[in-house]
Amino acid sequence: MKIKILTLFPDMFNGFLSESIIKRAIDNNVVDVEIIDYRIYSNDKHNHVDDTPCGGGAGMVIRCDVIDRAIKANCGDSSYICLMTPQGERYNEEITKELAKKDEIVLICGHYEGFDERVRGYVDRELSIGDYVLTGGEIPAMAISDSVIRLLDNAIKEESYKDDSYFNGLLEYPQYTRPVEYNGKTVPEVLLNGNHKLINEYRLKESLRKTYLRRPDLLENRVLTKEEERLLNEIKKEEM
Ligand SMILES: C[S@@+](CC[C@H](N)C(=O)[O-])C[C@H]1O[C@@H](n2cnc3c(N)ncnc32)[C@H](O)[C@@H]1O
């Protein structure tokens, strides 16, 4: 997969691309990430890419002609162009799975006051990482790239993400490691006996319990298996 990120601040991505799982995925050709500076597409000698808002007001607005030229120079038929905006569709794991199937995603970062409204006409999708406002689209672009890259083949093992929260519509079960006893609190016995049938049942039940207690909305539209239904009924009685 190819990820292209259009930004006014390319250096913000240095740490993100040079550490841990993302660095390994790039080194192993699982993903190719290209950071593109808007300034290349400025048409004045001072490399200006933004201007003051029409009608007055604070901040600077990224110009639509600059973004148009950047898109024309960097996007083709297989590019899926996403605009980073707090006004967009709320990003979630289902969108992550969709993006992970694309050949190429292009993430457009605003900064300061944002971008000219006409930019919306050039994109396939508008994405928000939550109901709050950041100074720029760079952190959303990193969050989206990170969540997509970890789902790509050979980035991490499938077993590392298949039970993670949201992947299958539930929150993950509680995790423990050694020491087995710490300050009077112990690891549940079932996780220590090596019986994988019991461990799997415990994990499914605790995953359902966490979801029921913390995010009951996730269970509302879920089609439960017979086993999930049985476990959820047990949980409801236990939590009464
Ligand atoms: C200060 S914000 C501009 C906010 C804009 N004036 C508004 O009220 O909708 C600057 C840029 O940061 C990015 N941004 C800020 N918050 C975001 C969020 N929650 N999700 C995605 N992008 C965000 C967008 O690219 C945005 O253009």
pLDDT digits (tens, 9 = 90+) for 2-36: 999 999 999 999 999 999 999 999 999 999 999 99
Tens digit of each residue's pLDDT (9 = 90 or more) over 195-233: 999 999 999 999 999 999 999 999 999 999 999 999 999
Nearest residue to 133 (alpha-carbon basis) of 115, 112, 117: 112
Residue 144: the pLDDT is 98
Tell whether ligand 1 has an atom less than 6 A from the beta carbon of residue 52: no
Distance 137 CA to ligand 1 centre (A): 6
State whether the beta carbon of 109 lies less than 6 angstroms from ligand 1: yes
Tell me how far the alpha carbon of residue 150 lies from the centroid of ligand 1, in angstroms. 24
pLDDT tens profile 36-64 = 999 999 998 999 999 999 999 999 999 99
The full set of domains in the chain, from first to last, is 2-158 (3.40.1280.10), 163-239 (1.10.1270.20)
209 lines ligand 1 (CB under 6 A): no
Is residue 120 part of the annotated active site? The answer reads no
Catalytic residue among 37, 164, 172, 228: 164
What's the 134 CA to ligand 1 centre distance in angstroms? 6
CA of 196 to the centre of ligand 1 (A): 46
Choosing from 84, 109, 112 the residue with most ligand 1 atoms within 8 A of its CB, the one to mutate for a pocket test is: 84
Give tens-digit pLDDT for 75-129.
999 999 999 999 999 999 999 999 999 999 999 999 999 999 999 999 999 999 9
Cα(111)–Cα(51) distance, integer angstroms:
12
The residue whose CB lies within 8 Å of the most ligand 1 atoms, and thus the one to mutate among 133, 144, 147, is 133
Is the pTM higher than 0.95? The answer reads yes
Distance CA 147, CA 185 (A): 33
When pLDDT is averaged across residues 148-164 and rounded to a whole number, the result is 96
